[in-house]
Amino acid sequence: MSGPGGRPSLPPELEALVREVLEASGLDLPARADVEADLRAHFEDGLEVGVPWQELQGRFGDPAEAGRRIARARRDPGPGRGTSDGRWWMSATEWWTEVKRSVRRLARAPGFAAVVVLTLALGVGANTAIFTVVDAVLLKPLPYAQPDRLVRVYEAPLGRQSDNNDLYLRAPTVAAYRTWDDVFSSFGALYTYRALGADLTDGNRPERVTVVPITTRFLETLGVSPILGRTFVDEEMLAPEAGSTRAIRGAGRAVTILSNRLWEQLFDADPDVLGRSIHLDDVAYEVVGVMPPGFRDPFGPDADAWIPQSLQDNMDNWGNYYLSGVARLADGLSVETAQARATALYGQLAEANPDAGDWGPVLVPLHADLVGNTRRAMLWILVGAAGLVLLTACLNVANLVLARGLGRDRDVALRSALGSGRARILASVLVENALLAVAGGAGGLLLGWGGVRGLLALAPDALPDTTPPELGTSVFLFALAVTAVALLAFGLAPAWRMARTAPADVLRSGDRSATTGHAARRIRDGLVVVQVAAALVLVAGATLLVRSFVAILDVPSTVQAGGVLSFEVNLPVARYPDGASREAFHERLESRVADLPGVDAVGAVSWLPWSGRYHIWSFYWDPNDPTASGANDDAWYGTDIRIFAGDYFDAIGLRVLRGDDPSQVDMEAEPVVWVSRTLADQVFGDVDPLGQTIEVGGDPRRIVGIVEDVPVDARGRVTRHTYIPHAQFADDRNWALIQTVKAHSDLGALREEIRGEIRALDADLVLYRPRPLTQVEGTSRAQDRFATVLMGSFALLALVLSLVGTYGVLAGSVASRRREIGIRMALGADGPRVRGMVLRYAAALTIPGVVLGLAGALAGTRLLDRMLFGVKSADPLAFVLSALVFLGVGLLSGWLPARRATRVEPARTLTSE
Amino acid sequence: MTLEREWMRGAAPLAVLTLLDRREMYGYELVEALERDTGGLLSMGQSTVYPLLYNLEARGHVKPVRRTAPSGRRRKYYRITADGRAWLEGQRDQWEKLVTALGRLGLNGPETEEALP
């Protein structure tokens, strides 16, 4: 007889025995083949020495028992502390076996695996997305040389509360700062008005570009060199020769450094660009340098070109605050020491120059200055919120894993009793949880990436521009770290517990169900309570932010933004050299636009509402000095200057409270102004402002009207405004005016019609930045909207997770207590009583969680104080709402299990085992 | 007569390793030796021996070695390892202590007769 592999086959009874042993062992190849070979060899050896097969069969023992023992012996090495031969660690093959086994186990429970992976992915994803933004904005150093040595320099009044915006520097002080080698190794400044631009006429069609006038050493201070050419030299900082046209006020010689983008756009990245010219506002500027790609000017991230800034005109002007300064601290100097030295040096400067006034320098680290305190606070709060989401997710997963683990308690106990090492059991649980964590982490990274793009789309204006967020190494490492933390949080505890489980206890209890064990139940309940608490904190925070945002939306507006189109047209000095030509253009444009169908009012202003403070000047008013001579030092006040033209007030719906409407005033008769309500109240008090003469911008002007206030930000903040008619100002300076057109027709179509009108008047002019006024209003709310939407999303996520978590525990509890329920029902408990039992359990889980959560929320929401508007962080309504929501969630999550509980048939549960 | 199961659990690995300490054996040979040399006291069915051998192998106390038998067949012999010897030494030590302790309590083995002082 011949068997497999050509060996002589055994008698059929022994073959059957071998087969039975192998079947009972349940081994896979190649273990099975090994065992088969051993058994065959054993019988063959016996037959060889003449032992009859019946005896061999009889002496073998129970084949099924043998198979099981063989299986155990081959899978689990036997009693002892370690895995095999007392080792604590496992070999690579053993790990790989565990991995394969875990994958098989998880594949048999796809629902569980899917829920866990998704939950983890959400938690990790939220954190990764936020971290990407925080990394770019707060953590990554600015893209300049040794950025921690850079400071922003301000001038601020000493002691006295300033009426002016104390951001900007004066030309004489800049000149002084440059000489303070003990404080600054390098000092640079730039012309501060952010919206500076020029019309570039070299491209296919005229385009408005952002031009920033800078002093020497501005780029050197930042530590970034051009990739082509050079930076400016001192001669170029001088005022242009007499007679030559200066397009941009304060500009020096007609040279320019281009941004990389503009260089590529205009010159196709031609390396021979140096010496060629571009035309800004019709003036030729020679290109002397090109900046590297990705360079971002900290004060003008979208700058297209830089030109030299001449300080000469203003060297004696101690009243014009118009420069932004950045400095590099001298080696080894701390900011505090530098500040002290600068203050001392400034004191000497002030002594030598009485016009300097009681001012002093203020140094702020550049990174902090660019980010801003509010934004920083907001970002860290969002990090905390994301952390809470992760906590909720991990608690959820821990509960799921624990429940699953408890279901395997009996099998594990058997393994343990029969000798599986503790390390091996630990390993199998760890591997399974690690696989889940890795899958969840990978999913989280993907979600995070999508989340970042969503964040950027949501808030293009909410975040500073200097370093764009990207999915780089640090983000990847962060996601890894978060995943590892999550794994520790939900993975180790069940594993350790399982390894410590005394097998005898489990076997004795005889209960195979999923949630046995009082300790296990308490742990699961505890997890749910903490989860509810964490989610409640988030919901309370989100509720506060939503209420705050609603309050912002509700701020009554003195401006009617609907149906108003704004745009800019800039008149190059070359072709509109004086006030008359500029005024003539504006008049022609206004009358043509006013004639378009659907247009109700046309006006223009130098700076729109909701755009912050701008053009802050001083004006002089002394009731005892009707000539407004400026002699009384205490009679100077700060105000936001607005130059307006046409029917501006009508166009934006701003009411003239008292006095004359601009249309009624003869602009050629005398210099006049309108003032805002706040200015009238704060400066004039009981005196009637109408008819008073103030000096502003060097000219005495009579107040002829009082208008309503205009908000400068989304929260309705108002400042003192002074409105000067363009007709009386045009001669003085060439300020760009933003046109405002009120219409009841479609604004998009209107825009194109206006473009046509402009082209008809002057083909080289650019219609710049057309946008509805409502968009301006919306942009001002960008940061608040960003925070609210994000926090709201986190809160919703946590709420859903909490609902799922509570439901899971309640459902599991009902499932495991079927016998108890059956008994109770058999003893007379009816549906409502049983439901009541479940709902009481739901309440026992929810109420402590709500209490804990409220306490946490009270503490945590205080961090939101700075961000809130119109609502306090301890707002009772928000807390009550949040508590109600979770009590509702608790009841809801208990509803289905409660119903299922009443469907238990007592007879069946009592008789089944 | 065979020993009770509790005793067997402790004694079986000790017995197998003691045998393998003398020389390497193959499965069938080992079963026969256990039966014969212990007078049947430590006789276990093959259903017990093989799991035990696999166990010892997994713990690193024995190692399988393939040899060609006189009949020309390839046979799997089991050889004790250094770890196995170390474990065996420890077990022997335990065994002697056990016998001594029980002897002091008056449980005399066939060879040890320790008179109490």
Backbone angles phi, psi at A54, to 5 degrees: -65, -40
0.90 exceeded by pTM: no
The sign of the CA dihedral B49, B51, B53, B55 is negative
The C-alpha torsion from A105 through A111 and A113 to A115, rounded to 10°, is: -160
For domain B5-104, give the CATH number. 1.10.10.10
When CB atoms are compared, the residue of B47, B59, B75 closest to A60 is: B47
Do the bridges between strand B74-80 and strand B62-68 make them parallel or antiparallel, or are there none, so unpaired? antiparallel
- Spatial separation of the C-alpha atoms in residues A873 and A74, rounded to whole Å: 63
**Average confidence (pLDDT) over B20-40:** 87
The maximal CA–CA distance of chain A, rounded, in angstroms, is 138
Looking at the complex, report in whole angstroms how far the Cα of residue B112 sits from the nearest Cα belonging to chain A.
Answer: 31
B51 contacts in A (CB within 8 Å)? 66, 69-70, 72-73
Question: Treating both helix axes as pointing N-terminal to C-terminal, what angle do A518-554 and A373-407 enclose, rounded to 10 degrees?
Answer: 150
CB-count exposure of residue A253 (10 Å: 0-12, 13-18, 19+): buried
A69 contacts in B (CB within 8 Å)? 47-48, 51
Backbone angles phi, psi at A658, to 5 degrees: -145, 160
- pLDDT at position A773, please? 94
- pLDDT at position A658, please? 93
Please name which of A229, A214, A221 lies closest in space to residue A290, comparing C-alpha atoms.
A229
**Chains A–B, number of C-beta pairs less than 8 Å apart:** 77
pLDDT, tens only, A690-735:
998 888 877 889 999 999 999 998 888 888 999 999 888 866 666 7
Those residues of chain A that have pLDDT short of 70 are: 1-8, 76-90, 158-167, 191-197, 203-205, 239-251, 405-425, 459-460, 462, 464-467, 492-518, 626-630, 730-734, 904, 906-913
The domain limits of chain B are 5-104
CB A325 within 8 A of CB A169: yes
Backbone angles phi, psi at B97, to 5 degrees: -65, -40
Please name which of A369, A410, A588, A406 lies closest in space to residue A514, comparing C-alpha atoms.
A406
Please name which of A739, A715, A906 lies closest in space to residue A829, comparing C-alpha atoms.
A906
B26 contacts in A (CB within 8 Å)? 41, 45
Strand partners, A640: A616, A721
When CB atoms are compared, the residue of B29, B47, B60 closest to A63 is: B47
When CB atoms are compared, the residue of B29, B60, B76 closest to A84 is: B60
Provide the residue type at A240 as one letter. P
Strand, helix or coil at A906? helix
- pLDDT at position A208, please? 80
- Spatial separation of the C-alpha atoms in residues A892 and A888, rounded to whole Å: 6
Q: What is the DSSP string of A450-508?
A: HHHHHHHHH-TTTS-SSS-----HHHHHHHHHHHHHHHIIIIIHHHHHHHH--HHHHHH
Please tell me what DSSP assigns to residue A292: P
Mutate to test the interface with B, among A47, A57, A69, A83 (most CBs of B within 10 A): A69
Backbone angles phi, psi at B114, to 5 degrees: -100, 115
Q: Give the count of beta carbons closer than 10 Å to the beta carbon of residue A737.
A: 24
Strand partners, A361: A155
